Structure 1
Amino acid sequence: MKILIKYSCITVLLLQIIACTSVKQLRYFNDLPDSSRIVLPPLELEQRIIQKGDRLAISVAGESEEATAYFNTYGGLPTMGGVAGGRQGGMQGGGQGGGGTELGGFLVDVDGNIEFPKLGVLQAAGKTSQSLRLELEQKVKPYLKNPIVNVRFMMLQFSVLGEVRSPGIKTLQPQRTTLLDALASAGDLPRTAKRYDIQIYRDYNGKREVLEVDLRKKDILYNPELFQIKHNDVIIVQPRNINLFSSEANGIIGLTTVLISFATLLVALAR
């Protein structure tokens, strides 16, 4: 009887060890201290560089309503047709007819340019939204008194591939740019995904690189290069070793079966 109880306890202990090991592989930020509040340093938001294929919302304000209406005709907000959508789609759709009519805004073409009312073709790629805004304010001054120009990115686009619940091309508002937001948009990681083997392929501002991420460690929270994704990033999540995962499952099932058998035997002997 004592021997059976001893082996049952050992079995339960082994089962708990396997379960804890499995959970650790699935948890994010395992090395964070146990605390109800953990203060992290603020992330410095990098000025995003305008690239080919970006879509910009540009609006102009000033003292003359007629002049501002002219500048805003072709690309401040998404449009569903009409003069604004038709012309902007033709000019900025990269030769694809009216393909830009529903999205609106100014599409940065393959040469890195936008076509702005009255000002014509302007170089945009390689600049920040702030520098382009200041440039436009200077250029519209001959046509508009005390102009105020606003330039913003209309979206952040990226791809999530591999072992996620919903892979594909995703878009977020430019204000939500973290890796956690990106993975959430793909339905999070299933149990079969490696939290410790995630690659980010990045082609940004003329530099191509692959970054390695381990979501089990807190280091990513302190590294803006890894924590904040950039436009056109490709996030690749690797699957766990299927044999390893299967062996874990088989081990748990086997130990559970043994435990149930011991428990049944103990009950029978107790009677």
Structure 2
Amino acid sequence: MNLSRLNFRALSCILAIAVFAIFGGTMSCVSPRSIVYFQGDTLSVYNQPVVQSYIPTIQANDLLSIVVGSLNTEANEIFNTANSFTTTSINYSTTSSGARLQPLGYLVNPDGTIEMPLIGKMKVGGMRTIDAADSIRVKLQLFLKEPSVIVRNLNFKVSVLGEVARPAVYVIPDEKITIPEVLSLAGDLTIYGRRDNVMIIREENGSRSYVRLNLTDRKIFDSPYYYLHKNDVIYIEPIKTRINATDRNAQLVPIITSIVAAIGTLGILILNFTK
């Protein structure tokens, strides 16, 4: 009886070793050079001029927050009612509630205009938010004393997909973000993400472009895609090891499950036989 139990334990150990060998074999070593960002020369100090050529402008279907202030508090509310919040089921954050407070805002019409109280229709399409605020402030001087205007784009967002910790759509309140910043928001790439082949999908002026960037190369700072544009999509491709491991594990799981069940049944029969 003791001998049979030892044989059963030995079989169990062999099975555990086999499972580890099969599944452990699917993981291969990852070279440090494939996961280290911004590689280049080894100089301790490296100076490079910062150039941001992209200046976001207001486009059709943008949702604008326009906050008006003046010495007349009651008059301000006429313009600021559109900035009140309402609950919507659209979730642009990483919360698990599935809903958030979404400001109504001023929707830019297809012709680039917005409709404001007292002012009526006015053209803001193609303007920077700071220029639109100046134009609105000039028109409000006819109705308000010493008005101030702040304009923000509420739907400046980018999407992050693939091998990151938190894939999601991220709203950028200051309308300026870089690839490293948005990947930080997404919790960084997983160990399985390809850092040398990051895809950026961009739609502008009626056309769609696809570009692949290498995050391990310091030259990415010179790329025109380093600063992200509104509605950019960032896709992180998995390495081949990840794909192969997933496919192989999916094939082996039912086989290993059957082996475990068979060993368990065999062990029970051995123990019953030796009683």
TM-score range, shorter chain: 0.5 to 0.7
Distance of 2:241 and 2:195 partners within structure 1 = 15
Distance 1:160 1:26 in 2: 18
- State the partner residue of 1:227: 226
SS for the counterpart of 1:203 is: strand
Aligned pair 1:22/2:28, yes or no? no
TM norm structure 2 = 0.64
Unaligned residue ranges in structure 1 (runs of 5+): 1-17, 82-98, 247-271
Corresponding position of 1:67: 75
2:186 equivalent in structure 1: 186
**Is contact 2:201-2:210 (8 Å) kept?**
yes
Q: Quote how far apart the aligned CAs of 1:60 are.
A: 1.9
Aligned residues: 208
Which TM-score applies when normalising by structure 1?
0.65
Q: What does the per-residue CA deviation read over 1:156-177, in whole Å, with 9 as the maximum and x for residues that have no partner?
A: 3111122323223222332651
Alignment of 1:59-208 (within 5 A): 59-75=67-83, 78-80=84-86, 102-154=102-154, 156-174=156-174, 177-206=177-206, 208=208
Identity of aligned residues (%): 29
Q: Matched residue of 2:200: which SS?
A: strand
Can you list the C-alpha shifts for 1:112-163, whole angstroms capped at 9, x where unaligned? 4332122233333322112212221222222123332221223531111223
| Contact 1:157 1:170 (8 Å CA) reproduced | yes
Cα shift readout 1:70-95 (whole Å, capped 9, x = no counterpart): 222332xx5248xxxxxxxxxxxxxx
Verify the 8 A CA contact 1:178 1:228 in the aligned structure 2: yes
| Cα 1:39/1:151, change in 2 over 3 Å | same
Shift of the 182–100 alpha-carbon distance from structure 1 to 2, 3 Å rule, reads: closer
Post-superposition offset of 1:59: 1.7
Equivalent of 1:33, from 25, 32, 42? Answer: 42
CA distance in 2, matches of 1:200, 1:72: 36
The match for 1:236 is: 235
Partner of 2:273: none
Contact conserved, 2:192 with 2:242, CA < 8 A, in 1?
Answer: no
CA RMSD of aligned residues (A): 3.2
Unaligned runs of 5+ in 2: 1-27, 88-98, 246-275
Asked if the contact 1:133–1:151 (Cα under 8 Å) also holds between the matched residues in 2, the reply is: yes
Deviation at 1:109, TM superposition (A): 4.3
